[in-house]
């Protein structure tokens, strides 16, 4: 198969992935809608599990699509708006699958799947053309820098979904659904903390690898470029999140609000900076 062939299959797989992510989102919604209305907790969580498997199937095809894109383009698929957006959705999907499974927390899927679908929808709106890389992007550091950003953004996306659940939990009527499927506020706070921890660790990796790369490419590891500055802002917001959790009475609601603000910063760093504040990262 030639390069065009790989890219054509990638295009098909991408479309199927989008449909599966959409289906998983709908199934997670159905899971909540059906079981929330039940008076008792007879549900074994089967519909939630089906939604998880559909999300997982989407993730597997998404992975295949990215691999084929890499083969078709002859490089890592992480260098333009389309490629980063689809990789971002992949990272969100990966971290969501892990957190849902690890913490037996199907409701998280109902909040994470829409974010995944929105991000992959944004990817679908971008140009899928494959261009040769400019010399500055031809670096081994590209893979480290962008892949750490993907995991970081994915983790922050999941912490955002958990924070939304935390903030909405109080509005739900007490009952079997709440008890069976949504963790306590304390546990939600702890899971959100784990997601933020993962995101912050990888964001730090991302900033360091980016700085090393920038030093080799441009002779300056930090130039206050808008993307760099907003990555720092995001890092500082999550640093504030970690600090304020140590203060008495600041866990829970205020931490959840910080997680929401942090993810808004992530989105601005990714989309807002690229469109409103062009700089040396304008290709990303």
Partner 1 sequence: MEKLKKAGRFLSSMQFAMILLFILVAACVLGSLITQGKTYEWYAAAYSERTAGAILALHLDDVFHSLWFVLLTAFLCLNLLLCNIVRLPSILRQWRESGTPETILSAGSSVQAKMKDAPDAAFARMGFRRVKEGSAEGRRCLYSVKNKAGLFGAWVCHLGVLLLILGFGLGQVLKTEYAVFGVPGQTKEIGDTGYLLTIDDFRIDERSDGSVSQYTADLTVQNADGSRKLSGSASVNSPASMFGMKFYQNSTGWAAAVHVKKDGKALQDEVVCAGDFLAAADKPELVIYLNAFYPDYVLENGTPTTKSREVRNPAYLYSVYYRGQMIGMNALLGDEELTIDEYTVTFSDPETYTLIQIKRDPLTPLALIGGLVTLLGLILALYVQPGRMWAVQEEDGTWTVWGYSRKGGAIFAERFREVTKGEPERE
What is the contact surface with partner 1 in residues (CB under 8 A)?
102-104, 131-132, 134-136, 138-139, 183-184, 186-187, 189-191, 193-194, 197, 200-201, 204-205, 207-208, 211-213, 215-222, 224, 226, 229-230, 232-233, 236-237, 239-240, 243-244, 246-247, 273, 277
CB of 243 to partner 1, least distance (A): 6
CB of 252 to partner 1, least distance (A): 11
Residue number, 113 or 142, with CB nearest to partner 1: 142
Residue number, 110 or 237, with CB nearest to partner 1: 237
Residue number, 53 or 222, with CB nearest to partner 1: 222
Residue number, 39 or 247, with CB nearest to partner 1: 247
Q: 99: which DSSP letter?
A: H
Contacts 24+ apart (CB under 8 A), 186-194: 186/252, 187/103, 188/162, 188/256, 189/251, 189/252, 189/255, 189/256, 191/99, 191/103, 191/105, 191/162, 192/159, 192/162, 192/163, 192/166, 192/255, 192/256, 192/259, 193/245, 193/255, 194/99
Residue number, 122 or 230, with CB nearest to partner 1: 230
CB of 158 to partner 1, least distance (A): 15
Inter-axis angle of helices 3-36 and 107-124, nearest 10? 150
Asked whether 221 and 214 are in contact (CB, 8 A), the reply is yes
Handedness of CA 126, 129, 130, 134 (dihedral sign): negative
CB of 10 to partner 1, least distance (A): 21
CA angle 78, 79, 81 (to 5 degrees): 95
Residue number, 220 or 275, with CB nearest to partner 1: 220
CB of 129 to partner 1, least distance (A): 13
CB of 211 to partner 1, least distance (A): 7
Distance CA 112, CA 98 (A): 12
């Amino acid at each position: 198969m030639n390069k065009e062939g790989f890219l054509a299959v990638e295009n098909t797989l991408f479309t199927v992935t989008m449909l599966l992510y959409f289906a998983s989102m709908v199934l997670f919604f159905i899971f909540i809608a059906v079981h929330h209305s039940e008076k008792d907790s007879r549900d074994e969580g089967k519909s939630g599990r089906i939604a998880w498997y559909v999300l997982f199937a989407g993730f597997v095809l998404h992975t295949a699509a990215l691999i084929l894109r890499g083969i078709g383009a002859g490089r890592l698929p992480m260098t333009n708006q389309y490629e980063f957006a689809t990789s971002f959705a992949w990272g969100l999907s990966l971290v969501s699958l892990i957190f849902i499974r690890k913490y037996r927390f199907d409701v998280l899927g109902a909040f994470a799947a829409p974010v995944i679908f929105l991000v992959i929808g944004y990817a679908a709106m971008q140009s899928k053309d494959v261009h040769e890389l400019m010399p500055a992007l031809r670096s081994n550091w590209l893979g480290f820098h962008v892949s750490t950003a993907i995991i970081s953004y994915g983790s922050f996306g999941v912490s955002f979904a958990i924070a939304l659940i935390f903030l909405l939990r109080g509005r739900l009527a007490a009952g079997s659904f709440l008890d069976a499927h949504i963790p306590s506020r304390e546990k939600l706070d702890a899971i959100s903390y784990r997601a933020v921890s993962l995101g912050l660790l990888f964001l730090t990796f991302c900033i360091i690898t980016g700085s090393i790369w920038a030093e080799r490419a441009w002779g300056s590891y930090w130039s206050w470029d808008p993307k760099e500055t907003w990555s720092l802002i995001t890092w500082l917001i999550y640093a504030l999140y970690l600090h304020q959790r140590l203060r008495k009475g600041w866990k829970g609601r205020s931490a959840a609000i910080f997680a929401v603000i942090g993810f808004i910063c992530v989105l601005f760093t990714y989309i807002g900076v690229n469109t409103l504040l062009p700089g040396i990262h304008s290709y990303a």
